[in-house]
Amino acid sequence: MNALATLSRSEFTLLVRNRVLLFNALVMPLLFPVVVLVIGTRSDDGLTDTIVSSALEIFALFLLVFLVFYNLLSAYATRRDELVLKRLRTGEATDNQILLGPAVPSFALTAVLTVAVAAIIVILGGSLPTNPILLIVGFAGGAALFAALALITSTFTRNAEAAQITSLPIMLVAMAGTSFLRGIVPDSVHSLIDLTPMAAVLDLVNLGWIGSTDPDSTPLAFADTFSPAMMPLLVVAAWIVGSIVIAKTHFRWEPRS
């Protein structure tokens, strides 16, 4: 654990020193959701479930895709390209600690920003979460999931510049899981989208806060939300396990010769 703590501290230090990265990590995930919430407070009905769901969806998209996935993808690719990963393997840190170290700041920021958004929603007049357990599981599982996807994507990403291209498929799949696209596609396609990472995470988040996967549906009580949460929970777990297994097999510790 000492090696992991040391690696995590160094990653935090690099994040704090990079003002642009720090701004993007702290401000960007909050900016657009807060704008949506503030505009929502000016409507006659106040912060409805639809507005809260939209804000949480935007927040999750920026948080998990850009803060967790893209930043970690760039970090892994850069560390490999600069031979940092190779040198770390000669020390006391295990492979798991080396790979987890860069993810700790993203996980910590995920927790802090999620609490911040939840507080803003309540302060602005939104309802309290229906099932905080599912809300926490949704964001925690989403952070782990997109960190694992970053590991896989980094296997064929040469450097930070190439990450701008190799990240696009995951970003497109994540955007496909948003409510906008899910609401306009046929039912047959909708069933496939439900199996994508972001769709499963958003289902858990919506069940956790508004008590339903659809803001227009009748909210469920706390105890009743666990049953519909089983499917998205299994999807998130399958993506995490599958991604880790693939990454363990194919992750590259050195640049291609």
User: What is the rounded radius of gyration, in angstroms, for the C-alpha atoms of the chain?
Assistant: 19
Average pLDDT on 71-85 reads: 90
**Predicted confidence band at 150 (pLDDT cuts at 50, 70, 90)?**
very high
pLDDT of amino acid 2: 80
Q: What is the mean pLDDT of the chain?
A: 90
Residues 239, 109, 84: CA angle, nearest 5 degrees: 75
3-state SS, the chain, equals: CHHHHHHHHHHHHHHHHCHHHHHHHHCHHHHHHHHHHHHHHCCCCCCCHHHHHHHHHHHHHHHHHHHHHHHHHHHHHHHHHCCHHHHHCCCCCCHHHHHHCCHHHHHHHHHHHHHHHHHHHHHCCCCCCCCHHHHHHHHHHHHHHHHHHHHHHHCCCCCCCCHHHHCHHHHHHHHHCCHHHHCCCCHHHHHHHCCCHHHHHHHHHHHHHCCCCCCCCCCCCCHHHHHHHHHHHHHHHHHHHHHHHHHHHHCCCCCCC
Residues 16, 66, 40: CA angle, nearest 5 degrees: 105
Least confident of 104-108, 151-155, 247-251: 247-251
The more confident residue out of 45 and 253 is 253
pLDDT of amino acid 228: 95
Model pTM? 0.93
Enumerate residues 6+ apart whose C-beta is below 8 A from 1: none
Q: What is the pLDDT of residues 180-205, one digit of tens each?
A: 777 777 777 878 888 999 999 999 99
Statement: residue 134 has pLDDT above 70: yes
